[in-house]
Structure 1
Amino acid sequence: MIKLHQYKYKEEYTYYMLQALKEGRGEAFRKDFLDLHPSDQTEFFLSLDDNRRMRLYTCLTPVEFGEIFSELRAEMQKRIITELAREYAVEMLNELPSDDAADFIGLLTHYEADFFLTRMEQEEAEDIKQLLVYEEGTAGSLMTADVFTVAGTDTAAEVLNRLRYKKTDAETIYYLYVTDHQERLFGVVSLRQLIIAPAECVISEIMNAKLITVPTEAQRVEVLEIIKKYGLLAVPVVTPDDVLLGIITFDDVVSFL
């Protein structure tokens, strides 16, 4: 991954990417662009004029462009969505973390929001609708429903195989949350614990049952204080009955400060 921290090098690298865009050399542009650090990808995108942005969309998949879209300010997102082909935009929103997609959908008019939600995958659309119910700035509005859960009866080998071979939309897999058949949370396992555990070890034997959670109505500042106090990368959001609704990552709360 390349970081454009040197001024002369940045000018040269940017020049070649712009030339590739101008000349329609999509694969050459794509290779150089995707080698960049994500923050530099966003910076480069914001430097483009309308015509060059339209060319960029043809070079990146909706998933790849979604990484940039999530980093844009609200007003820029509303502007950019009008430039995207509808099918491309819908696919991009399908692949965004549910909290990022909900933040964007929440910016739209009822008509515009309905347009996208009725065209998105049903499960993704339902996750977004649930997040939009919560008051802005609360844990419910900040969380993502994309969580990797395991059963207490799973073995370490079974979970590692799932992580290796099955596609997951989970925003983070540093923590794996242990739930029962009613989605109630009763433990957490770190990725490190999982990796060093014997293959035949049962998850309930290595999980941490001393849980730190927040309710949906917790305010952003409260959530941040809990994450900082306990040195967490993410904190689960639960109902009064301990049903796991989602998680809030450190990035989710600091991005609003």
Structure 2
Amino acid sequence: MSTPNRVYLARLAGVAVFDPNGDQVGRVRDAVARMRATQRPPEVVGLVAEMPMRRRIFLSINRITSIDPDGVVLGSGTLNLRRFEKRPNELLVLQELLDRRVQLDSGHAGSVVDVAMECSRGGEWALSRVAVREHTGRLTRRGHLHQVDWDRVHGLGAVGDNRGTANLLAVLEDMRPADLANALQDLPDARRNEVAAALDDERLADVLSELPEHDQVEILAALDRQRAADVLEEMEPDDAADLLNELPPPEQDVLLDLMEPDEADPVRQLLRYASGTAGSVMTSEPVILPPDATVAEALARIREPQLSPAVAAQVFVTRAPLTTPTGRYLGMVHFQRLLREPPADLLGGIVVNDIDPLRTSTPLPEITRRMATYDMVSMPVVDRNNRLVGAVTVDDVLDHSLPRDWRDRDAVSPSSATHDGILDGDDE
């Protein structure tokens, strides 16, 4: 195996996994170690890699030809694409050991910040060294970092709630919200809620939007009500409305009352629409400009980083007021048209209104048919007075067209087999 003799595993989190041809097939998310009956350090039997569609699979250590911070390279053979399931005698190193509070032989107490695996002359990989940050008791001073042998650390084999979250969050911080949501689903409920609570409001709002409804509700319920309201304020109004719809009406009212009125009002409006209609799935905050705005102003608006690609794909043109419900709806301008027009031109001169807008009562199948017919990324929604009240985007349609449990990793595949062997029948 062409790889360093010792590899610190936290540094592998997120590293690309390549097949023998150099094509990327996934990213490393953790390492799997097998506990032993003796006092010997746990044997590392493989890595957990995340593949497309958020599927996590097991990569046997014997199938890996190279490990370094630039990537993990697999040898020949067929991958086992069955979903990874941890066995009772196994340990997910990063998930279960990072931030664990331990005691060193020297008497110092600290928290685990990294764990190294090392290859013996016989080719066996085992956990060998532990990096422990000493506790100082001072908020402004970082403790000394000790790198010691596995057997000089006490508390690694114990199961308990003796871990913080800082180092695990450091490993997860560069993940996309969807990937972080996927990682949270692998954690025990108590640990998941602890990590979620440690995220800032904006980050947690993004992650909640990517989780199955039952996980969203459980995480929100674990927060105090004011914190839960703060997180709801950071969510897109349609996502916040979807989440509140999963709660009993009295709890909805409590959380809405705790939210800032400007943030709660659009959510209250969305909650009034019947499920499965344009009103219930739309976003109430599309990009809206008046007809006398210039192309340059429109391009500046859609460049705003907080806008999703679907929302930023077009500008809706209305009379004042420009917040929903607006004045009379005039039409829309797609961003590609904006790129082709002189910056000083007015939107009123290039607006397109040849496609009838949706009504708040338009059912989801009709929305899907019309968006597919006209190849639309987003469609306007108007009320009976032709005032713009929102827009349905293609991601809204997908979210509500797929089965309710599509975000639940356990529901993606009818079977979640263990990591025995590979599909071509070879042994690990």
TM-score category of the 2 structures, normalised to the smaller one: 0.7 to 0.9
Q: How does 1:245-256 map to 2 (within 5 A)?
A: 245-256=389-400
CA RMSD in angstroms comes to: 2.8
**If each structure's strand is expressed as a fraction of its own residues, which one has the higher value?**
2
Which residue, 223, 231, 248 being the options, matches 2:367?
223
> What is the aligned partner in structure 2 of residue 118 from structure 1?
257
Kindly indicate whether residue 29 of structure 2 is the aligned counterpart of residue 10 of structure 1.
yes
> What is the aligned partner in structure 1 of residue 336 from structure 2?
192
**If each structure's helix is expressed as a fraction of its own residues, which one has the higher value?**
1
- Using the aligned pairs only, state the percent identity: 27
Cα distance between partner residues in 1 of 2:184 and 2:261: 31
Cα distance between partner residues in 1 of 2:206 and 2:272: 25
Q: Are 1:146 and 1:171, in contact at CA under 8 Å, matched by a contact in 2?
A: no
- CA deviation after TM superposition for structure 1 residue 167, in Å: 6.8
**Over residues 23-55 of structure 1, what are the superposed CA-to-partner deviations in whole Å (9 max), with x where a residue is unaligned?**
4462x5444323224332111101112342244
> What is the aligned partner in structure 2 of residue 139 from structure 1?
278
Amino acid of the residue matched to residue 233 of structure 1?
A: V
Q: Are 2:177 and 2:210, in contact at CA under 8 Å, matched by a contact in 1?
A: no
Question: Which of these two proteins has the greater Rg computed from alpha carbons?
Answer: 2
**Over residues 210-255 of structure 1, what are the superposed CA-to-partner deviations in whole Å (9 max), with x where a residue is unaligned?**
2341111111111011111111111111113321011111111222
Q: TM-score, normalising length from structure 1? A: 0.86
Q: Are 2:30 and 2:95, in contact at CA under 8 Å, matched by a contact in 1?
A: no
Cα distance between partner residues in 2 of 1:255 and 1:4: 28
Give secondary structure in 1 for the equivalent of 2:333: strand
- CA deviation after TM superposition for structure 1 residue 149, in Å: 0.2
Cα distance between partner residues in 2 of 1:178 and 1:170: 18
Cα distance between partner residues in 1 of 2:379 and 2:246: 26
Amino acid of the residue matched to residue 129 of structure 1?
A: R
- CA deviation after TM superposition for structure 1 residue 168, in Å: 6.4
**Which region of structure 1 is more displaced relative to structure 2, 244-253 or 194-203?**
194-203
Which residue, 172, 175, 185 being the options, matches 1:33?
172
Q: How many residues align?
A: 255
Cα distance between partner residues in 2 of 1:69 and 1:212: 34
> What is the aligned partner in structure 1 of residue 244 from structure 2?
105
> What is the aligned partner in structure 2 of residue 53 from structure 1?
192
> What is the aligned partner in structure 1 of residue 346 from structure 2?
202
**CA spacing shift, 1:115–1:41, aligned 2, 3 Å:** same
**CA spacing shift, 1:31–1:157, aligned 2, 3 Å:** farther
**CA spacing shift, 1:15–1:211, aligned 2, 3 Å:** farther
- CA deviation after TM superposition for structure 1 residue 170, in Å: 9.8
> What is the aligned partner in structure 1 of residue 210 from structure 2?
71
Amino acid of the residue matched to residue 228 of structure 2?
A: A
**Which region of structure 1 is more displaced relative to structure 2, 34-43 or 175-184?**
34-43
Q: Could you list the runs of 5+ residues in structure 1 that have no partner in the other structure?
A: none
Amino acid of the residue matched to residue 200 of structure 1?
A: A
Q: TM-score, normalising length from structure 2? A: 0.54
Q: Are 2:378 and 2:391, in contact at CA under 8 Å, matched by a contact in 1?
A: yes
**CA spacing shift, 1:165–1:174, aligned 2, 3 Å:** closer
Give secondary structure in 2 for the equivalent of 1:128: helix
Q: Could you list the runs of 5+ residues in structure 2 that have no partner in the other structure?
A: 1-13, 18-24, 32-47, 49-91, 101-110, 112-163, 403-428
Q: Are 1:212 and 1:235, in contact at CA under 8 Å, matched by a contact in 2?
A: no
Q: Are 1:4 and 1:10, in contact at CA under 8 Å, matched by a contact in 2?
A: no
Amino acid of the residue matched to residue 11 of structure 1?
A: D
